Structure 1
Amino acid sequence: MPAPTPLTPERPPAIEASSLHKSYDQGKGRDPVQVLRGIDLHVPPATVFALLGPNGAGKTTVVRILATLTEPDSGSARIAGHDIRTERRAARRALSLTGQFAAVDEKQTGAENLRMMARLAGLSRPAARARAAELLDRFGLTDAGDRLVATYSGGMRRRVDLAAGLVGDPEVIFLDEPTTGLDPRSRRQMWEVVRELTAQGTTVFLTTQYLEEADELADRVAVLHEGRVVADGTAAALKSRVAGHRVDLTLTDAAAYTRLAARATHHSPETLTLGIPTDGTARHVRALLDELDPHGTEVATFTLRGASLDDVFLALTHTTPTTPKAPAHV
């Protein structure tokens, strides 16, 4: 992963946000829904920044505000040094937004899609043709460039969609769940594309439901919960904040699961499994098992594993765990 580009007076932070608030009116005398409750972000150039959060946490609203599609109720933000309110046109020239679903014309070829976007960006016909050829090569689509996009695989469509977003050579690109619905091979191909973008100086702002993806790609990770950033740092730092390791306990019955659920950062009521933070040493694991199951009757099996961003996510966005259902009798 490339090292973050040092900040200079000539190159400000790629993204800055301070105290962003946003509410939506529900109408009919109901109170407004507070979506963002004071968001602060700082993203250096040529890095990957991942924003995580459960559904409804406000991720899409953050992206829409930073991409100048929605105005905040209060607060400020800059993209590549340009204020999103007072310098909106300059901010828009500096960014590109790629949504969850490929927005390409299936009735055109890959090359035609890219040439069309280049012309819309103001390039001449020769320059648009050259830019399209350059991007097809960059994304490994040269051989498929003259095929209709309707014949492309899901991964190829995502790549041509991302290529279209790079026609104007933006400094910042927002990727809203870019690998949703892709098979594992296509996902990893997209990861390579993201790494290449940052290596060439582009800043990538990523939202994703795949925590492995953020762990793999992001220089920094922020966790959004109930409209607030509840954690911001490197993946390694966030993991150490929760725990270095986790011991997964499979309990013997629902009563034991319910009794110990409050101690856990990971909950699986279907399998009666709880994940408990530990430092990973044999001494601490033995002491933890003795503490949690002093009579040796409630823990059926246990597994020690390293902490992941899943643990961070679940710990920081924790809600009351689901009570396990009684086993069905057949």
Structure 2
Amino acid sequence: MPPAIEATGLRKAYREVQVLDSLDLTVARGTVFSLLGPNGAGKTTTVRILATLTDADAGRARVAGHDVRTERRAVRHAISLTGQFAAVDELQTGEENLRMMGRLSGLPRAAAHRRAAELLERFALTAAARRPVRGWSGGMRRRLDLAAGLVRPAEVVFLDEPTTGLDPRSRQELWQVVRDLADDGTTVFLTTQYLEEADQLADRIAVLDAGRLVAEGTAPQLKERVAGHRLDLVLTDAAAYERTLRRLAGRAVHRSPETLTLGVPTDGTAADVRARLDALDPDRTGIARFALHTATLDDVFLALTQKEPLHV
């Protein structure tokens, strides 16, 4: 079986702005793949190209074995897309929304009713099924939106920043939905700005910055390549903070001027920690205290954006 998603050399520009710059991606079937990046990195444009909503200026892409340019109908039949905002009818009940989507997808009336009931149960929405959606919480609306996209079974599900604006409990509920989809063999392509979300869910992660792929691998691989550990330094005052920041010359992976804290990569050994402390504070007056942490995806993101591509 071919990969669920293959993209080679994708390029896209809007006037003078190069949104995607020779992007290559491969996503295995039945996995959760997360595309990370700041606003404007090109995440949504990537999803729109792969979902056949936008044409790339150059490059090729196949989704579920079909070319996104020449086999649009086949691609659309194989995918589901949930955008950044819930696209449900707030005046209808949850049950009515799903029945309507079933009918629009070509299901007979009885089949649409059965499918709506199945999805309401699967997404834990049965108790609220006959209430107007306008009274639902944000998390419930997002689950209904995702359920609506699955009225017709999909091989590949695109989730474009699905938890934006949700409270922590609602995010956790949606994370479980994503896990369940992957357990059922569905390929999930997830874009997010929440590094914890990618860490929790993704089998493989790609970091996108200014339209270029700057890192790709599993979460542990990325953390290990960037820095097995992070040394957090708390400086004595603002002058010491600025002085140490200059000495780091761009190597800081964490900055907090409010708490006078700087984070630097380290392999975690005593020898390396001592060497870094001596190099950054030779007269031993600038660093008040320090702490050693395991590297996080935040460190990966800060260390790798605006640098040369890194593959692991």
Q: TM-score if structure 2 supplies the norm length?
A: 0.94
**What is aligned with 2:310?**
none
Contact 2:102 2:152 survives alignment (8 Å): yes
**What is aligned with 1:217?**
201
Matched, 1:284 2:284: no
CA distance in structure 1 between the aligned counterparts of 2:225 and 2:19, rounded to whole angstroms = 26
Aligned partner of residue 173 in structure 2, secondary structure: helix
1:107-186 pair list within 5 angstroms? 107-186=91-170
User: Deviation digits for residues 32-87 of structure 1, max 9, x if unmatched?
Assistant: 21111100000001110000111111111111111111000010001100000110
CA shift for structure 1 position 286: 2.3
Contact 1:265 1:318 survives alignment (8 Å): no
User: Deviation digits for residues 164-197 of structure 1, max 9, x if unmatched?
Assistant: 0111111111111111111111111111100000
Structure 2 unaligned runs (5+)? 308-312
Aligned partner of residue 76 in structure 1, secondary structure: strand
Aligned partner of residue 222 in structure 1, secondary structure: strand
Residues 229 and 318 of structure 1, relative CA distance in 2, 3 Å threshold: closer
CA shift for structure 1 position 318: 5.0
Partner AA of 1:23 in structure 2: A
1:25-40 pair list within 5 angstroms? 25=15, 32-40=16-24
Aligned partner of residue 188 in structure 2, secondary structure: strand
1:261-276 pair list within 5 angstroms? 261=245, 262=249, 263-276=251-264
CA shift for structure 1 position 258: 2.7
User: Deviation digits for residues 221-255 of structure 1, max 9, x if unmatched?
Assistant: 00011211011110110000111100111112333
**What is aligned with 1:102?**
86
Segment of structure 1 superposing worse, 159-168 or 272-281: 272-281
CA distance in structure 1 between the aligned counterparts of 2:61 and 2:259, rounded to whole angstroms = 45
CA shift for structure 1 position 257: 2.4
CA RMSD across the alignment: 1.2
CA distance in structure 1 between the aligned counterparts of 2:31 and 2:119, rounded to whole angstroms = 21
Partner AA of 2:263 in structure 1: G
Contact 1:248 1:274 survives alignment (8 Å): yes
Partner AA of 2:19 in structure 1: V
Aligned partner of residue 46 in structure 1, secondary structure: coil
Aligned partner of residue 188 in structure 1, secondary structure: helix
Runs (4+) of structure 1 exceeding 4 A deviation are none
CA distance in structure 1 between the aligned counterparts of 2:29 and 2:147, rounded to whole angstroms = 20
CA distance in structure 2 between the aligned counterparts of 1:258 and 1:283, rounded to whole angstroms = 25
Matched, 1:17 2:7: yes
Partner AA of 1:84 in structure 2: V
CA shift for structure 1 position 127: 0.4
CA distance in structure 1 between the aligned counterparts of 2:242 and 2:55, rounded to whole angstroms = 44
CA distance in structure 1 between the aligned counterparts of 2:112 and 2:23, rounded to whole angstroms = 39
Aligned partner of 1:190 among 158, 171, 174: 174
Contact 1:214 1:221 survives alignment (8 Å): yes
**What is aligned with 1:303?**
291
Structure 1 unaligned runs (5+)? 1-10, 26-31, 320-330
Segment of structure 1 superposing worse, 283-292 or 11-20: 283-292
Q: How many residues of Structure 1 are paired with residues of Structure 2 in the alignment?
A: 303
CA distance in structure 2 between the aligned counterparts of 1:115 and 1:63, rounded to whole angstroms = 27
CA distance in structure 2 between the aligned counterparts of 1:260 and 1:172, rounded to whole angstroms = 47
CA distance in structure 1 between the aligned counterparts of 2:38 and 2:225, rounded to whole angstroms = 19
Contact 2:161 2:190 survives alignment (8 Å): yes
Segment of structure 1 superposing worse, 248-257 or 177-186: 248-257
Partner AA of 1:305 in structure 2: H
CA distance in structure 2 between the aligned counterparts of 1:93 and 1:254, rounded to whole angstroms = 58
Segment of structure 1 superposing worse, 50-59 or 128-137: 50-59
Partner AA of 1:270 in structure 2: E
Partner AA of 2:229 in structure 1: H
Aligned partner of residue 101 in structure 1, secondary structure: coil
CA distance in structure 2 between the aligned counterparts of 1:259 and 1:78, rounded to whole angstroms = 50
Partner AA of 1:79 in structure 2: V
CA shift for structure 1 position 281: 2.4
CA distance in structure 2 between the aligned counterparts of 1:258 and 1:77, rounded to whole angstroms = 46
Partner AA of 2:6 in structure 1: E
CA distance in structure 1 between the aligned counterparts of 2:166 and 2:302, rounded to whole angstroms = 24
CA distance in structure 2 between the aligned counterparts of 1:178 and 1:68, rounded to whole angstroms = 19
CA distance in structure 1 between the aligned counterparts of 2:21 and 2:164, rounded to whole angstroms = 27
User: Deviation digits for residues 290-310 of structure 1, max 9, x if unmatched?
Assistant: 221121101122121110100
